[in-house]
């Protein structure tokens, strides 16, 4: 029977002040965990309200004006306050230094500052709700965003501030990975999660400042009327779209790349087999990061950019399929003849592979010029990015959360309820969003409050699915929180993994490693070593 | 927690030695400078587009810029870059008083830059050469002459904020130098602020011809 270590980062030192002023990357990860999950809950509630309203083409619970605000808040909160920081700030902060054998990230104070900046930015953005919220959609497109009477300024300023939190996290990770690896931890001995975080950090650092200046321009345009996005004053609203997507398309890869890193870990550990094509997975992360900067125009096929640019952007978009495909095939090859155990994290991994494949392929449809003209701004697009963002990133996030939960808290959750909730979320997700592919291909436009009667059965079915997802998440919240207090001690290495974090006690001590750890094997050398699992389901 | 007894006071516990710390901070600073360039990059991009669309406006409007003051400010900033470089050299040699003199000169030069900028701005405000909807000046031919001044105030304004931040940083360095926090062993903050200050200088070197020397 396992027992918990007497002292760990969780209980030394004690007191609320020691948490709020902590420089320990693990504690900062926990601070991020609770704040980001709170935003996930808020964004999720807005999603539920959207689906309830769409049960009927007429008013169900809210007016059209309120509906516009609710879908904007859902999008803005989920994108800027949940999904962008989720994996890097929670899992990255927690495991990155552990995985490379470091005592902390390179700049612990900057790390804590990034959390406070996140909190301040989120508070400013949410302040917009009491000032009438925002009804522009999460993209804040001009000219509507410069003319609407709703509270665009606090929302965009909040997002601007949160951007610095993202930049600081990225900067911290790049330096940590370059300079703080344990001796012997060469680039190609790093776990693939670290590679993915590295590629993510590069995009965060290069793209986020451009979003920052774009939002500054938008705010100045509203406050001072400089006319930079106003055609009547010699400006151009399409310039806003270029600026916005120059950040926001790479941001899509900020969201998915760390998820791919988690999947690389999970697929190898839960197949107890060496990862297939390590180098290609590592390079493909960098390849995706590079390509992410060259495809922003595929959001603007019908915005009036030149046909030539549309063709070039469409062509370049197809290239993204190559590194993504490399990863998919490598993961599947890793599982081939592996000893697969279908624990909760692996269920999420399989969900990811299945759903991300659909999300990725429909992305290729949408990147094709003539198809996009038909599908643009329909529910097909909504379904596509939910398959990538929720079916991809959120599934990977949940897989990682279940995988590292026993390391974070030292205690194991209920495997039974874990599987139930994974199944509910997977089924509910497909009911909700596959239906939307059909709706979109039949012409249902996104962001509409009302619709033609022939769409109602689909909308009702989709809303029904959202309740199943909601039920899955409620169950998950209950058993995960229960595990923090009452779960069985998990031991150092409950899954039989080979990366550094599993050599430490669960939960780890404050200083991580008493001695600088020695690299004795690769992160996935399951062909040479059979690790002992410290946790067996009774 | 950490056994930092044999460590010098400036060395943080998670670095194994001073060299690793210095290298890390330097890399972090360079990455930060890249983000700064991208931040300004958005504005430079907007500038290029609007200048390409309105070449006549930019040409006509730039005649109302005060080239003498602009040139003076360029010289002031270049000299301040020199003085901060000399400050780094002085602290590398452990000369505390010399460091203070050079940091002080940089601080004063930055102040001179802002004062000159204030007079330029005040003149433009007075004449109504203001951005966007506040533009009231009548002396420039062509449609939408305010575009030039929108870009001018945005870009020099953001640059001015960076100069102000630089002054705060240099003031903080002077305080710490006086307290004896830096030595020939440890002067990383001085070096990093120097890098930042050079960036501020370089951005101005691009802004100067783009607004004052059109055509």
Q: Write the ipTM.
A: 0.92
Minimum CA–CA partner of B50 in chain A: A235
User: Which range of residues forms the domain containing residue A251?
Assistant: 16-503
Distance CA B159, CA B166 (A): 10
Minimum CA–CA partner of A236 in chain B: B50
Of B109, B114, B35, the C-alpha closest to B77 is B109
Check residues A439 and B142 and name the one with the higher pLDDT: A439
- Is residue B38 in some structural domain? yes
Under the banding of pLDDT at 50, 70 and 90, the label for residue A234 is confident
Distance CA A47, CA A463 (A): 10
Question: A14 at the B interface (CB within 8 A)?
Answer: no
Q: What integer is the mean pLDDT of A67-96?
A: 96
Contact list, B143 vs chain A (CB under 8 Å): 234
Q: Is B1 a residue whose pLDDT tops 50? A: no
Whole-angstrom CA distances from A131 to A39, A272, A283 are 19, 53, 46
Q: Is B4 a residue whose pLDDT tops 50? A: no
- Is residue B83 in some structural domain? yes
Residues A103, B14: C-beta atoms closer than 8 Å: yes
Minimum CA–CA partner of B26 in chain A: A175
Minimum CA–CA partner of B34 in chain A: A206
Of A281, A518, A258, A278, the C-alpha closest to A404 is A258
- Is residue B5 in some structural domain? no
**By CB neighbour count within 10 A (0-12 exposed, 13-18 middle, 19+ buried), where does B146 fall?**
buried
Count of CB atoms situated within 10 Å of the CB of B171: 14
Residues A209, B50: C-beta atoms closer than 8 Å: no
Minimum CA–CA partner of A170 in chain B: B31
Distance CA A38, CA A283 (A): 34
Q: What integer is the mean pLDDT of A258-286?
A: 96
* Residues A145/A214, Cβ–Cβ less than 8 Å: no
Which domain CATH number covers B177?
1.20.120.80
Distance from CA of B123 to the nearest CA of A (A): 19
Distance CA A146, CA A355 (A): 37
SS (H, E, C) A344-357: HHHHHHHHHHHHHH
DSSP B141: -
- Is residue B164 in some structural domain? yes
Q: What is the pTM of this model?
A: 0.95
Whole-angstrom CA distances from A390 to A12, A120, A433, A494 are 36, 26, 10, 27
Q: What integer is the mean pLDDT of B1-8?
A: 53
Distance CA A417, CA B75 (A): 70
Which residue matches tokens 């010098």?
B8
- Is residue B44 in some structural domain? yes
Task: Report helix, strand or coil for A33.
Answer: helix
User: Which range of residues forms the domain containing residue B140?
Assistant: 18-212
- Is residue B9 in some structural domain? no
Domains contained in chain B, number: 1
- Is residue A58 in some structural domain? yes
Distance CA A21, CA A109 (A): 9
Both tokens assigned to A350: 């399989």
pLDDT at position A398 is: 98
Q: Is B2 a residue whose pLDDT tops 70? A: no
A:237-276 residues touching chain B, CB 8 A cutoff: 239, 243
* Residues A405/A417, Cβ–Cβ less than 8 Å: no
- The residue of B11, B25, B38 whose CB has the most chain A CBs within 10 angstroms, and thus the best one to mutate to test that interface, is B38
Minimum CA–CA partner of A514 in chain B: B2
Q: For chains A and B, count residue pairs whose Cβ atoms are closer than 8 Å.
A: 115
Q: What integer is the mean pLDDT of A330-336?
A: 97
Both tokens assigned to A424: 């509910």
CA atoms within 13 A on the CB side of B215: 13
DSSP A343: -
pLDDT at position A220 is: 93
Q: Could you report the per-residue pLDDT of B111-146, keeping only the tens digit for each?
A: 999 999 999 999 999 999 988 888 888 888 888 889
Of A82, A150, A163, the C-alpha closest to A120 is A163
Question: A206 at the B interface (CB within 8 A)?
Answer: yes
Distance from CA of A227 to the nearest CA of B (A): 6
* Residues B177/B107, Cβ–Cβ less than 8 Å: no
B:160-199 residues touching chain A, CB 8 A cutoff: none
Domains contained in chain A, number: 1
> What is the length of chain A?
538
Question: B5 at the A interface (CB within 8 A)?
Answer: no
pLDDT at position B6 is: 57
pLDDT at position B208 is: 97
Contact list, A208 vs chain B (CB under 8 Å): 35
Which domain CATH number covers A173?
1.20.210.10
Residues A213, B42: C-beta atoms closer than 8 Å: yes
- Is residue B4 in some structural domain? no
Distance from CA of A79 to the nearest CA of B (A): 21
- Is residue A391 in some structural domain? yes
Q: Is A115 a residue whose pLDDT tops 60? A: yes
Question: A62 at the B interface (CB within 8 A)?
Answer: no
């Amino acid at each position: 029977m396992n027992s918990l270590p007497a002292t760990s980062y969780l209980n030394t030192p004690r007191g609320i002040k020691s948490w709020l002023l902590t420089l320990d990357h693990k504690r900062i990860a926990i601070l991020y965990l609770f704040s980001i999950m709170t935003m996930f809950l808020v964004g999720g509630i807005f999603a539920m309200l959207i689906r309830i309203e769409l049960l009927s083409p007429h008013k169900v619970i809210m007016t059209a004006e309120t509906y516009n605000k609710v879908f904007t808040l859902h999008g803005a909160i989920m994108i800027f306050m949940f999904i962008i920081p989720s994996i890097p700030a929670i899992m990255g902060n927690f495991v990155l230094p552990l995985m490379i054998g470091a005592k902390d990230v390179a700049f612990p104070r900057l790390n804590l500052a990034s959390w406070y900046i996140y909190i301040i930015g989120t508070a400013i953005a949410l302040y917009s709700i009491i000032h009438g919220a925002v009804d522009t959609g999460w993209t804040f497109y001009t000219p509507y965003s410069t003319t609407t009477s709703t509270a665009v300024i606090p929302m965009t300023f909040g997002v601007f501030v949160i951007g610095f939190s993202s930049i600081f996290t990225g900067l911290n990770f790049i330096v940590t990975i370059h300079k703080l690896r344990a001796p012997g931890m060469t680039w190609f001995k790093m776990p693939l999660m670290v590679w993915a975080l590295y590629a993510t950090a590069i995009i965060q650092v290069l793209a986020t400042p451009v979003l920052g200046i774009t939002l500054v321009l938008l705010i100045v345009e509203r406050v001072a009327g400089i006319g930079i996005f106003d055609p009547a004053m010699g400006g151009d609203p399409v310039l806003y779209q270029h600026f916005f997507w120059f950040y926001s398309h790479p941001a899509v890869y900020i969201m998915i790349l760390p998820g791919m890193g988690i999947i690389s870990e999970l697929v190898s550990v839960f197949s107890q087999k060496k990862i297939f094509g390590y180098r290609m997975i590592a390079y493909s992360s960098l390849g995706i990061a590079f390509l992410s900067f060259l495809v922003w125009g595929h959001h603007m096929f019908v915005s009036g950019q030149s046909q030539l640019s549309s063709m070039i952007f469409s062509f370049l978009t197809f290239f993204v399929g190559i590194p993504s495909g490399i990863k998919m095939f490598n993961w599947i090859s890793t599982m081939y003849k592996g000893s697969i155990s279908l624990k909760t994290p692996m269920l999420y991994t399989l969900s990811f592979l299945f759903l991300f494949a659909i999300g990725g392929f429909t992305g290729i449809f949408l990147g094709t010029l003539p198809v996009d003209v038909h599908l643009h701004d329909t529910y097909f697009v909504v379904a596509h990015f939910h398959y990538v963002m929720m079916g991809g990133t959120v599934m990977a996030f949940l897989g990682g959360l279940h995988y590292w939960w026993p390391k974070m808290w030292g205690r194991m959750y209920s495997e039974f309820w874990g599987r139930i909730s994974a199944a509910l979320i997977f089924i509910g997700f497909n009911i909700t969003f596959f239906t939307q592919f059909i709706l979109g291909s039949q012409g249902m436009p996104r962001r509409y409050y009302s619709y033609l009667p022939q769409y109602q059965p689909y909308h009702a079915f989709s809303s029904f699915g959202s309740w199943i997802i909601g039920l899955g998440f409620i169950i998950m919240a209950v058993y995960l929180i229960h595990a923090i207090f009452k779960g069985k001690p998990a031991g150092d290495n409950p899954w039989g993994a080979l990366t550094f974090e599993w050599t430490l006690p669960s939960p780890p001590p404050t200083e991580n490693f008493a001695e600088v750890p020695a690299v004795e094997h690769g992160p996935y050398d399951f062909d040479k070593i059979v690790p002992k699992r410290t946790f067996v389901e009774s | 927690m950490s056994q930092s007894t044999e460590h010098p006071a400036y060395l943080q516990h998670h670095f194994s030695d001073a060299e690793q710390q210095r290298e890390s901070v330097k890399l972090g600073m360079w990455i930060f400078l890249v983000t700064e360039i991208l931040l300004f990059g958005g504005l430079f991009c907007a500038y290029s587009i609007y200048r390409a669309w309105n070449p006549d406006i930019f040409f006509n409007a730039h005649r109302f810029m005060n080239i003498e003051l602009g040139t003076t400010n360029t010289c002031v900033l270049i000299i301040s870059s020199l003085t901060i470089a000399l400050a780094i050299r002085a602290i590398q040699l452990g000369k505390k008083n010399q460091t203070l003199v050079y940091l002080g000169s940089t601080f004063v030069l930055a102040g001179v830059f802002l004062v000159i900028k204030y007079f330029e701005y005040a003149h433009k405000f007075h004449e109504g050469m203001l951005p966007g909807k506040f533009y009231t000046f009548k002396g420039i031919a062509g449609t939408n002459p305010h575009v030039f001044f929108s870009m001018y105030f945005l870009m020099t304004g953001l640059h001015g904020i960076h100069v102000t931040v630089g002054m705060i940083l240099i003031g903080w360095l002077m305080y710490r130098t006086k307290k004896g926090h830096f030595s020939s062993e440890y002067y990383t903050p001085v070096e990093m602020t120097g890098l930042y200050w050079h960036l501020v200088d370089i951005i101005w070197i691009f802004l100067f011809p783009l607004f004052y020397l059109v055509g």
